[in-house]
Amino acid sequence: MNFMFIKLKDIKNLTSKELNNLYEKNFSNSLHEFFKLGDMVVQYDKASGINVWDTEGNKYLDFMGGFGALNLGHNHPRIIEAVKNHFPDPNLLQQSINVYNGVLANNISYLTGDKLPVSFFTNSGTETVEEAIKIAYMYKGKGKILYCTNGYHGKTLGAISALGIKSKNKFLHFEDSFIEIPFGDINALIKAAKKHSIAAFLVEPIQGEGGINLPPQGYFEAVREICNESEIVFILDEIQSGLGRCGTMFCYEQLHIVPDVLCLSKSLSGGIIPVGSVSVKQEIWDKTYGKMKNAMLPSTTFGGNTLACVAAIETLTVIKEDSLAERAKDLGTYALMKLNKLKDKHEIITEVRGKGLFIGIEFGGLKKLHLPMLEEFMMVNIISKMLRNHKILCGFAANNPCVIKFEPPLIVTKEEIDCFAEALDKVLDENKNEFSLAVDTLKNTAKNFIN
């Protein structure tokens, strides 16, 4: 293929090999190599609901759900239509009010029972976390940020400082301004609050990339109480757990608390347009961005653009009108039952846990090998077989590769959940224990490497 500029209309004329070469050469050779070793190089060209299709016409079930960005499924027609209908509107016009900003913020306030009455908007989850940290610092004026081991809040500089795994040491981060404590350990929070000046506690209600880790009973009620007593800004990151995923519109509703700052993103626009939201209590807003002198500080070029807000308004409407949170609760109970039957049958699965359709399947048996790199490739082997042999997309938790995340769109059916469970059962039947799986993984990795 000659070096040239490629127009959209010309892409369909390129071969799969040419497109793969462009990806490898100009985008990411390392990621391309990873997909090749796992036999997961597939080109998809159509998506709708829970299904995607490859260029050869094969149909797949998507149980990854865009890392939690596809609560409504792929390309929901109501979101697409709403965005299309607003194409003539000004999308970026910063020198006046954008009425869709006010409507979206009102709707989020309504859904929180007016407990978080003010929202401002960003372009991603990690940017949302950055803004939450900034507003907490502005409100407090000083102090450190507490975060949890195995927590995940994004990969920009501030957010990665709150990454609860060692890989953040590959990047510059603000080590002196951030303090790590164990997730679910209320005594650790009490000790940190007594020992340090703390501006904010940044935490997920359920750790997503940590492996779908649930908090102990009563933990967040105690967190709320300690934050009140110590005047710590309580930032709850619901970027992955919110918007119906766990069985209620917001996961915090099940924890009997209200945070000071709520972070939303991912599914907020139905997976159509990047958007994030920082929702705060009135007192925090009034003392920070609510002041005239600070009015322009949270502004961004694309944050809160018209099309993003339109998509978010319609997404919240669909979640509410279609009772998707209630659906997630009911189907989550069914999925846990099906997956726990697999746990009872296959010793390699040591735990199944979660809320709603936010579930982790832990392959704790792999840890007997004490070889982290092999563990990861063994999980890739399982995921590759789900993909190649059963046409099901799934993935593992970024901070805990021994956990498969069960995170389908909330429109999934019981029959599709059955398909996932049956497929995983067949994959595990091929390798009865971790040692058999290890041999199979090494064999398949070598074959893919040679190919």
- What CATH number is associated with residue 130? 3.40.640.10
For residues 266 and 210, state if they share a domain.
yes
Identify whether residues 126 and 222 lie together within a single domain. Answer: yes
pLDDT tens profile 171-193: 878 889 999 999 999 999 999 99
Residue 216 DSSP code:
P
3-state secondary structure of 388: helix
- Mean pLDDT on 383-412: 96
pLDDT at 373: 77
Residues 256 and 161 placed together within one structural domain of the fold: yes
Q: Are residues 353 and 445 in the same domain?
A: yes
Flag whether pLDDT at 79 surpasses 60: yes
192 occurs within a structural domain:
yes
Domain that holds residue 299: 77-321
Give the pLDDT confidence of 117-140 residue by residue, as tens digits: 999 999 999 999 999 999 999 999
Q: Which candidate, 388, 384, 341, places its Cα nearest to that of 361?
A: 341
Identify the helix (H) or strand (E) that includes residue 126.
helix 125-140
Q: Are residues 95 and 58 in the same domain?
A: no
Whether residue 399 is found in the same domain as residue 301: no
- 374/280 same-domain check: no
Rounded CA-CA distance 323/326 in Å is 5
Residues in the chain: 451
Percent of the chain that is helix, strand, coil (3-state, to 5): 50, 15, 35
Residues 199 and 291 in one domain: yes
For β-strands 400-406 and 395-397, DSSP reports them as antiparallel
Residue 366 has a pLDDT of 82
Give, rounded to a whole angstrom, the gap between the first and last alpha carbons of the chain. Answer: 21
pLDDT value at position 193? 97
In a 13 Å sphere around the CA of 346, the CA atoms on its Cβ side amount to 30
CATH number of residue 45's parent domain: 3.90.1150.10
> Do 216 and 183 lie in a common domain?
yes
- Is residue 312 within a helix (H) or strand (E), and if so which, with residue range? helix 306-321
Query: Dihedral of the CA atoms 132, 138, 139, 141 (nearest 10)?
Result: 130
Lowest mean pLDDT among 164-173, 245-254, 338-347, 409-418: 164-173
Q: What's the mean per-residue pLDDT of the chain? A: 94
Task: Say if residue 170's pLDDT is above 70.
Answer: yes
Could you tell me if 228 and 376 lie in one domain?
Answer: no
In the three-class reduction of DSSP (H, G, I as helix; E, B as strand; rest coil), residue 142 is classed as: coil
367: tokens are 């840890």
Domain count across the chain: 2
Among 29-43, 98-112, 241-255, 381-395, name the one with the lowest average pLDDT. Answer: 29-43
Q: 419-431 pLDDT, tens per residue? A: 999 999 999 998 7
pLDDT in tens, 294-339: 999 998 999 999 999 999 999 999 999 999 999 999 999 999 999 9
> Does a structural domain hold residue 258?
yes
Query: Which residue, 321, 351, 380, sits at the end of a domain?
Result: 321
Global pTM reads 0.95
**What are the φ and ψ backbone dihedral angles of 106, each rounded to 5 degrees?**
-60, -45
**Can you give the pLDDT at residue 448?**
63
User: Which of 321, 340, 356 is the last residue in one of the domains?
Assistant: 321
Task: Indicate if 316 and 337 belong to the same structural domain.
Answer: no
List CB contacts of 265: < 8 A, sequence separation 6 or more. Answer: 122, 124, 125, 128, 239, 275, 276, 277
